[in-house]
Structure 1
Amino acid sequence: MLLGAPAVALAKGQPMMITVTKGFGLTLYASEVGDAKQLALGDKGTLFVGSYKKGTVTALVDNNADGRVDKRYVIAKNLDNPEAIAFRDGDLYVAVEEKILRYIDIENRLRRPGRGKEIYDRLPEQTNNSRRAMHFGPDGRLYVSIGAPCNVCEAPDPFASIIALDVETGETEQIATGIRRAIGFDWSPTDNALWFADLGRDWMGDRIPPDEINRVEQVGAHFGFPYLHASTVEEPAYERPENLKITLPKYELPAHVAPTGMHFYSGKQFPEKYQQQMFVAENGSWNRSSKIGYQVVMLTIENNEVVKRSTVVSFLDGEFPVARPHSLVTAPDGAMYISDDLKGNIYRLYYKKSQDSESDTAK
């Protein structure tokens, strides 16, 4: 059940409605951060934001831990589509064109970050469709998702896959393939298994194919693209290879919700039923006859199966999107940051039990 928040003037002269589930609140953590895509959290609590169109990587700092940004720094600018970023052991990693750059000891160099050092140069050429994301896995390797360069096609490796990179040696391993566009992925806190959300193809109508939630149980598994979409939608343009073994989704989302962000909540601020559960940012439909998505949902997982999907925040006001949530990360205080690639905002989702004085809506 959603609790309707009062209308808030998020744009001049245009009050908008954001709804949050009962017990939660939402505030505006930062604004005008380009088309905010992937988020990465530093060891000292710095929130890094990658932008696709603006070509910047921004660092946001909350010095007094009051849930609002005090300082911001531009780590890099004039880059080609630096949406994919990751942080580990003091260093920030940014994917740009065919390269991955490393910004060393970045939280101690926010004012003078210097140029990123190239550590890898064998990513395929990026297109508007072949979107990318990066996260470090439990094994210490940098996992990179590389989208297919098309709506639907037989793409050469390493397109349409997730690879794991040893950032010291440059060695890579293909973890999963047959993936159209997996921008959101994370590891289960219970068994370290990799889960990812895959966006289904366009132009098959409003209701098919479903978007997917997948789990990698075997390295190198094939997840169907472009031959099979979700569990049952055969691709008419390409014939499935006779001996191809396809791993089916663990869960199917409605078509066109566009699950760009996936994150297992790792904090303690939210009630127990939310802890260690999967949160998904549904970026929202772009060519559907009526809009769908534009929300953050929780997928309740029991025994490695998704048993329930619940809306936590909705940014859809009728047919008008207030925001397009893209990525999620747990904040140091147990709240959750949500990036918005529509207006360049970063929202902070918090549980109100100990913060009753805060508003239900973005300020």
Structure 2
Amino acid sequence: MDFVTRVATMIGGVMVKMRRGSAPKVQAMGDAPDIPEAKKQGVMTLKMPTAKGWDDGHMPQAAPGLQVNAFASGLDHPRWIEVLPNGDVLVAEALQIERPPRGLFDRAMVGTMKRANAMGQSANRISLWRDPDGDGTAEERHDFLTDLNQPFGMALVDGTFYVGNTDGIVAYPYTDGDDRISGEGRKLVDFKPGGHWTRSLIVSPDRSKIYAGVGSQTNIGDQGLAAEEGRASIWELDLATGDAREFATGLRNPVGLAWEPVDGKLWTVVNERDGLGDETPPDYLTSVQDGGFYGWPYSYWGKIVDDRVQQDADLVARAIQPDYALGGHTASLGLCWMPEGTLPGFGDGMVIGQHGSWNRSTLSGYRLIFVPFADGKPSGAPHDILSGFLSPDEQFSYGRPVGVVIGPDGHSLLMADDVGNIIWRVTGA
């Protein structure tokens, strides 16, 4: 670490200590969260644990009645998971690419992200894992697709495999049982790369459309709104016509996508903006309306104005309030619907992988949680499924939760851990 980076990091550390005493004691969570008044930080709080990984025999702590084991290990920054109909498990291995810093604070942030294993050289591949004997640990590994561009979301529809690269959606021919795709891909949709670079994908229940999450370039439109065109939104791709459009907008960084089966609505988890306080605003889980606008960058939690941004009163007036707050800066990324009966003691609800914070004085997230649902809506406080990813003194992260899916057997969860470089499997004890 060079001298300038050390100085910038020290300044960030001082900000952490100054703000810790005034930090809210209760997280802003639920359908009626207590969101503290915004406090402009100036120099933003910069705090991330050093990536450590798991020592032999050390693993996340499962909730009572559950157990956890490593389904696959030795990966290179696993981010997202897709389970194919034949039981093959695909894992997107990718990372935010290291870039030159843009100023003093950005230099500290880049250095901190590298230390936290959140930035570096991307593997740019999708690996395939098989568990032929069904014991819950994969025995086979194959390079399914390589030389991609920060792959993330994956989807399979009628013999075509779709990949969400950071710069767009690409389609490949696929035959059931393939352990490697060698055919050429077809680019279907272009997205602006970089910034919030992940591109999650989900297929509509009728298999006619694909939805993609595309995050913003910046925190609050810092490079101008022209740089944000086509971003901070969920896109819809019609597979029959090839037409693509923005389905919902004003979502700063919508990552995980899931269908709720009672009302048939699309849901997403969104990472909100930085620089206003430990719990302001909270990240959130929300249903998504066709044509809906959710506030970014002008407002948050519906119509609470962010006065750092030049305002658009008409857009703020129609900003939709999210359904459920997940706490400030939890970096909630992974999302899947988990029906009752999947894990013992858990009913219907959403499972969320919380990657963990950097912009707050006391760390948050670093958990795999469950939000119960009833009648198509969240219906109570979240419960931990896995915890123990963070050292008690907040100095080290053993792992960081990202993507989560229902396992091939229908009675387990698979979760990507991009610091531990492991796919964890959760089942009943």
Instruction: Give the TM bin, normalised by the shorter chain.
Output: 0.7 to 0.9
Code of the residue aligned with 1:224 in structure 2: it is G
- 8 Å CA contact 2:347–2:372 kept in 1: the answer is no
> 1:346: which partner in 2?
423
Code of the residue aligned with 2:164 in structure 1: it is A
Residue 264, structure 1, aligned to residue 337, structure 2: yes
- 8 Å CA contact 1:99–1:118 kept in 2: the answer is no
> 2:255: which partner in 1?
183
- 8 Å CA contact 1:184–1:197 kept in 2: the answer is yes
- 8 Å CA contact 2:402–2:415 kept in 1: the answer is yes
- 8 Å CA contact 2:76–2:93 kept in 1: the answer is yes
Shift of 1:90: 4.2
Q: Which moved more, 1:205-214 or 1:91-100?
A: 91-100
> 1:77: which partner in 2?
146
Q: Write the distance in 1 (CA, Å) between the matches of 2:270 and 2:264.
A: 19
Shift of 1:240: 3.4
Shift of 1:222: 0.1
Choose the corresponding residue for 2:194, options 111, 114, 127.
Answer: 127
Q: Which moved more, 1:25-34 or 1:283-292?
A: 283-292
Q: Cα deviations across residues 22-79 of structure 1 (Å, max 9, x unaligned)?
A: 0000000001221111111101011111122211111111111110101111112222
Shift of 1:114: 0.3
**Would the alpha carbon gap of residues 293 and 156 (structure 1) be closer, same or farther in structure 2, given more than 3 Å must change?**
closer
**Runs of 4+, deviation exceeding 4 Å:** none
Residue 249, structure 1, aligned to residue 322, structure 2: yes
Gaps of 5+ in 2: 1-51, 95-121
Shift of 1:235: 1.4
Shift of 1:231: 4.2
> 2:412: which partner in 1?
335
Code of the residue aligned with 1:220 in structure 2: it is G
Code of the residue aligned with 2:390 in structure 1: it is L
Q: Normalising to structure 2: TM-score of the pair?
A: 0.74
Shift of 1:214: 1.1
Code of the residue aligned with 1:344 in structure 2: it is N
Gaps of 5+ in 1: 1-8, 353-363
Shift of 1:98: 3.2
> 1:62: which partner in 2?
131
**Would the alpha carbon gap of residues 280 and 169 (structure 1) be closer, same or farther in structure 2, given more than 3 Å must change?**
same
Alignment map for 1:280-295 (pairs within 5 Å)? 280-295=352-367
Q: Write the distance in 2 (CA, Å) between the matches of 1:291 and 1:341.
A: 18
Shift of 1:163: 1.1
- 8 Å CA contact 1:339–1:345 kept in 2: the answer is yes
Shift of 1:16: 4.3
**Would the alpha carbon gap of residues 34 and 109 (structure 1) be closer, same or farther in structure 2, given more than 3 Å must change?**
same
Code of the residue aligned with 1:44 in structure 2: it is N
> 1:227: which partner in 2?
298
Code of the residue aligned with 1:329 in structure 2: it is V
> 1:359: which partner in 2?
none
Q: Cα deviations across residues 317-344 of structure 1 (Å, max 9, x unaligned)?
A: 3123221110111012210000111232
Q: Write the distance in 2 (CA, Å) between the matches of 1:89 and 1:26.
A: 33
The structure whose residues are more often strand, as a share, is: 1
Q: Which moved more, 1:96-105 or 1:249-258?
A: 96-105
Choose the corresponding residue for 1:149, options 217, 228, 246.
Answer: 217
Q: Write the distance in 2 (CA, Å) between the matches of 1:168 and 1:32.
A: 39
> 1:40: which partner in 2?
82
Shift of 1:161: 0.7
- 8 Å CA contact 1:163–1:174 kept in 2: the answer is yes
Alignment map for 1:153-172 (pairs within 5 Å)? 153=221, 154=225, 156-172=228-244
User: 2:370 aligns to what SS in structure 1?
Assistant: strand
Code of the residue aligned with 2:312 in structure 1: it is P
The structure whose residues are more often helix, as a share, is: 2
> 1:324: which partner in 2?
400
Choose the corresponding residue for 2:183, options 81, 102, 115.
Answer: 115
> May I ask how many residue pairs the two structures share in their alignment?
339
Q: Cα deviations across residues 168-217 of structure 1 (Å, max 9, x unaligned)?
A: 4211232211011111110102121011111011222322111011112x
Code of the residue aligned with 1:175 in structure 2: it is F
Q: Write the distance in 1 (CA, Å) between the matches of 2:55 and 2:332.
A: 29
> 2:383: which partner in 1?
310
Shift of 1:275: 3.7
User: 1:243 aligns to what SS in structure 2?
Assistant: helix
Q: Write the distance in 1 (CA, Å) between the matches of 2:249 and 2:124.
A: 28
Q: Normalising to structure 1: TM-score of the pair?
A: 0.87
User: 1:162 aligns to what SS in structure 2?
Assistant: strand
Shift of 1:286: 2.3
Q: Write the distance in 1 (CA, Å) between the matches of 2:362 and 2:283.
A: 17
- 8 Å CA contact 2:53–2:419 kept in 1: the answer is no
